[in-house]
């Protein structure tokens, strides 16, 4: 059984790990057989599986159902499940819904948002619910962002994201997902936090990577994000494609520079120094 303890060990040893979204038993079983030890039942299912244009309509019933399915296929993986839009507006509501997901088989719940969620995170942790944070592009806030846009590309945005990450870690999150942020910023956050950090469209310096399963298999067509890679095109079959994804993450081949975003604007000296230090760490890690 993979646990958060293993992810902490991997971070210390600079062992990169691959994770993926899963929505049913058949695919979660296949992912498990090909070496995926961390899976996410994401509210991304609203777009990738239900055909909606955002994650906002996804319900708790959807998340419970798909969590049950994925757990049956992969009984030993570390399983994260998203709390969907407006299911954690208060700490009490968050606990009730998190409990339902844990009963369905989740090991940890993921919620989107910054420092304002600290009280909710603390309340969940105190009640025995492990929490994964999610910063950067948070799809549940798409209407505030005005679309699916890269976050943290200037000094103000970068400072806010780093502050949010530290506040959430202090509140008790045990894992953090960074989505669509500059690679150097993601590297800095990974360097500054003691908890494991998983990136999606966040460069190669995070502790782990995650992709939506349909993007890994190249079946999202023209809507595939620029940070994704079609591993099925090179692998030839689904099992080989997933195994190739795992191998390229573990060896540092993926994500490459073309799957990453750059920082824009003037940054503080300490920001640049920290990212330089993180880049050096990454070079050493890739060579071992």
Which residues on adjacent β-strands are paired with residue 199?
178, 209
CATH classification of 4-286 is 3.30.1860.10, yes or no?
A: no
19 in a labelled binding site: no
Residues 6+ apart with CB under 8 A from 117: 88, 111, 133, 168, 171
- The catalytically annotated residue of 33, 126, 169, 179 is 179
pLDDT in the model for residue 214: 97
Give the residue ranges of the chain where pLDDT is below 70. Answer: 147-148, 265-288
Q: Where are the domains of the chain?
A: 4-286
pLDDT in the model for residue 106: 99
Q: Which two tokens stand for residue 78?
A: 């570390």
54 in a labelled binding site: no
CA distance 250 to 247: 5
112 in a labelled binding site: yes
pLDDT in the model for residue 67: 99
pLDDT in the model for residue 265: 57
pTM for the model stands at: 0.91
Q: Is 264 a catalytic residue?
A: no
pLDDT digits (tens, 9 = 90+) for 129-185: 999 999 999 989 877 777 667 889 899 999 999 999 999 999 999 999 999 999 999
pLDDT digits (tens, 9 = 90+) for 255-283: 999 999 987 754 444 455 544 544 444 32
43 in a labelled binding site: yes
């Amino acid at each position: 059984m993979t646990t958060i303890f293993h992810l902490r060990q991997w971070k210390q040893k600079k062992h990169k790990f691959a994770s993926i979204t899963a929505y049913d038993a058949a695919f979660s079983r296949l992912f498990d057989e090909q070496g995926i030890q961390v899976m996410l039942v994401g509210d991304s299912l609203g777009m990738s599986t239900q055909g909606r244009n955002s994650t906002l309509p996804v319900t708790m019933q959807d998340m419970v159902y798909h969590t049950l399915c994925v757990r049956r296929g992969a009984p030993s993986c570390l399983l994260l499940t998203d709390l969907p839009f407006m299911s954690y507006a208060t700490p009490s509501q968050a606990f009730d819904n998190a409990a339902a997901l844990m009963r369905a088989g989740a090991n940890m719940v993921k919620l989107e948002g910054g420092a304002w969620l600290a009280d909710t995170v603390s309340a969940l942790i105190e009640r025995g619910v492990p929490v994964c944070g999610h910063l950067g592009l948070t799809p549940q806030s798409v209407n505030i962002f005005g679309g699916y846009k890269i976050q943290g590309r200037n000094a103000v945005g970068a400072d806010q994201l780093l502050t949010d990450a530290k506040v959430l870690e202090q509140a008790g999150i045990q894992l953090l997902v960074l989505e669509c942020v500059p690679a150097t910023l993601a590297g800095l956050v990974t360097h500054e936090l003691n908890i494991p950090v998983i990136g999606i469209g966040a460069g190669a310096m995070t502790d782990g990577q995650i992709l939506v399963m349909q993007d890994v298999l190249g079946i999202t067509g023209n809507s595939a994000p620029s940070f994704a890679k079609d591993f099925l095109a090179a692998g030839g079959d689904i099992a080989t494609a997933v195994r190739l994804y795992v191998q390229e993450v573990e060896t540092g081949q993926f994500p490459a520079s073309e799957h990453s975003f750059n920082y824009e604007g003037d940054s503080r000296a300490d920001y640049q120094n920290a990212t330089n230090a993180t880049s050096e760490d990454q070079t050493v890690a890739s060579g071992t």
